[in-house]
Chains A and B, each alone.
Chain A
């Protein structure tokens, strides 16, 4: 294979472990040099790993955890282990005075060596951790910046979505047609296991366009998430429907949330832009010029922006 695999499922078949011979070697060789395919392979590995969940859930016996923690404790403190061993020897009184003195010297040396080794490992770990923290912080800042870019763009519009059945079920979308980006947060009950919530952009003309599944909110319904849609679509409304798991190309299920988009606003001058943003932002509880006070991502952003 000189180029990309012909079929996307090849990555899944590779992750499943069924490829063999030349087929497998060719894909491995390609993944090693193609970052895009390596990324697809990582995604396929994730999808295939989920097959583990098709096993009958069995809780492990508590003794496994005790053994693991004992093993870890014994390894993580070599200095402590040496100290304990030295104490035992002393208490045993097996050595004469000089033997004991040498043993003590050897123990001190061993302790010092152990300590230095431990320090070295700790330093290495600290460096690794600092690097990891820096990367994680950078990612958080990038995410926060993307979110703020959508929220602060003067031509972004805020849409509140509501349910006809319950005032507890709500959602908000911040949409920028020019950028083709939107940020969304929803309060929704957990979807049944065979269903997914799907967000739709209803354009001024034509069929609804999927803006993705609301999967990241399976746990925390307060999470803010972002997604891209085709740029330049004027939105009439946004809606969330309950669809078969994995989503549908067009809405088929009941509308859970609906929100009408404000009519297109023409900004004639820079002041107008700011005022318009301010009105929308205030309506959504965001003070203009300050960091948005939202849960999760917004919290990350406020921490990083300080």
Chain B
């Protein structure tokens, strides 16, 4: 499973904001942390703002802060702003093998959608705070 660069940047940004909901972050701070261009990040944050997940404040002390509900917003809510996960339209193909391949791909897509849709930002933050498992051992 691979997400586009913008999607990953959006997820990391929104999680940074949600981790400290009262705090205002500058674009430069997030861009520096995730090695993103300020221009690219500004576009990503614009989409998050239009979706109501972040609020922007102008001026010298300006920046962005979280304005969503971390208990309700899921990873899928954020990802869906940037790309489509699953629900691919079946190809109008008459070949049995292509149909079979499409069926397996759809199965993978549905699992991905369910996974992203079941993880809220709050759960994700808990996951990030969990101590790392020792090498060679499961979580």
Real complex partners, A and B? no
Chain A residues packing against B (C-beta within 8 Å): none
